[in-house]
Amino acid sequence: MGAGHHHDHDHPHDHEGSELSPMDLRVRALESILVEKGYVDPAAVDALIETYETRVGPRNGARVVAKAWSDPGFRDWLLRDATAAIASLGFTGRQGEHMVAVENTPDEHHMVVCTLCSCYPWPVLGLPPVWYKSAPYRSRAVIDPRGVLAEFGVALPPQTRIRIWDSTAEVRYLVIPMRPAGTDGWDEERLAGLVTRDSMIGTGLALSPEAVAA
């Protein structure tokens, strides 16, 4: 079912009932009653979905990081007042009202988790991936982060401090990964291509120029 279709759920069994899972039926029933009672406008539901499917995602965060790598003044602003610095690029609002940026160095690697639910900086990273919301990540990020990093293919030197930020309040954290070597003179757009979603959560590193060229 695409966004914008099948808002009339009165008789779902007529045409595709055999393919509908219990959760399909359950959510259809929920949306139907909420729409019928006038609490929910299905066109607004479509617009909400479309926003995160097409406009808000980790490319936003990559622009923030690339600018921080390129512009020392912006980097300082981002570390001092991330909410304002990020807003200057047009990324504001829900689940990013109170932003803090933390910067990886050779001595310290930052990683973000929400052990209690799924808090995640939507305006810069979009909606979280399933693994971020899953029990394995939420349980182990705080007690065994090196084991978690290994599952992402990341191995850090044992002396590198691993700094875990558990997002237990409404502050949302963005990791600024280290700028890869061999990128001198690159413009922001090219640099942004090295910034992965996972590198801004702290479960990955920025890509090397070789990885992008390959």
Residues belonging to the active site = 114, 117-119
Reduce the secondary structure of 141-209 to three states and give it as a string: CCCCHHHHHHHCCCCCCCCCEEEEEECCCCEEEEEECCCCCCCCCCCHHHHHCCCCHHHHHCCCCCCCH
Residue 85 beta carbon to other proteins: minimum distance, rounded to whole angstroms: 16
Give the containing element (helix H, strand E) for 118: none
Residue 208 beta carbon to other proteins: minimum distance, rounded to whole angstroms: 19
Cα separation, 12 vs 7, whole angstroms: 10
Residue 88 or 118 having the CB closest to other proteins: 118
Residue 68 or 119 having the CB closest to other proteins: 119
Nearest CA to 170 out of 85, 86, 93 is that of 93
Residue 97 or 188 having the CB closest to other proteins: 97
Binding residues for Fe(3+): 114, 117-119
Residue 175 beta carbon to other proteins: minimum distance, rounded to whole angstroms: 14
Question: Scanning the structure block, which residue is given the tokens 């899953």?
Answer: 134
Question: Scanning the structure block, which residue is given the tokens 């909606």?
Answer: 127
Residue 65 beta carbon to other proteins: minimum distance, rounded to whole angstroms: 20
Residue 72 or 158 having the CB closest to other proteins: 158
Are the C-beta atoms of 172 and 96 separated by less than 8 Å? Answer: yes
Nearest CA to 121 out of 103, 141, 95, 101 is that of 95
Cα separation, 171 vs 197, whole angstroms: 19
The whole-angstrom distance between residue 62's C-alpha and the CA centroid of its chain comes to 11
Binding residues: 114, 117-119
Residue 184 beta carbon to other proteins: minimum distance, rounded to whole angstroms: 30
